[in-house]
A and B are shown apart, each in its own frame.
Chain A
């Protein structure tokens, strides 16, 4: 079945960078755009951006422009989200998600990774 499996928890110091991976299986990796969404503890969901795994084209939320980079390695069906200049407010669970059944990429994300906890602490 269609599945997204993310890398394990990370602990980083302020100012460092973190790179989270999202390995896809059960479908052709280049078929669906990959979104990244984060959720701080006890807070709501926040959309960070998307990447087209076929072309590598990306679109980032304005809030993260200049700090986030989304890439992929098609040979291993894996997408990456790197966030730099980390601060305590970036402590959150980071999810990758795709739109499979709905018709359009903007219709609603129906397959999610399990989440990766990133803790930023000195």
Chain B
């Protein structure tokens, strides 16, 4: 099972909005509504930010939102803040495995 494809890096200024894409196939992202997104700060464990494409766990700011179109899922961060600078990973259920992760995206706040 190949990793889902994400851009290596995305940057934005404080207050701006950024979108991270996550591209898979009809056997994973496109075939199921089980896409999740994780935030990871250096030296820390990943933190779940979005599950089942667009649901936010309790405590996650509503600046974070998720969506999906076809084989591509997206994470949007609105009103970018300094503490949003981190690595972000998408994940999806697949026809052959409960989880496959994306390649990861480094978000830089300028």
Q: Give chain A interface residues in 80-101, CB to chain B under 8 Å.
A: 95, 97, 101
Docked Cα-Cα span, A111 to B5, in Å, equals: 25
Within 8 A of A (CB), among B51-67: 51-52, 55, 57-58
* Closest-CB distance, B83 to chain A (whole angstroms): 19
Interface residues of A in 105-122 (CB under 8 A from B): 105-110, 112-115
Sampled A-B contacts (29; CB under 8 Å) = A35-B98, A37-B46, A37-B101, A44-B101, A44-B102, A44-B103, A45-B38, A45-B46, A45-B89, A46-B101, A47-B91, A47-B100, A50-B98, A62-B96, A62-B97, A101-B57, A102-B51, A102-B55, A102-B57, A104-B34, A106-B34, A106-B98, A107-B34, A108-B37, A108-B48, A109-B99, A112-B45, A112-B47, A115-B45
Show the binding face of A for B, using Cβ within 8 Å: 35, 37, 44-47, 50, 59, 61-62, 95, 97, 101-110, 112-115
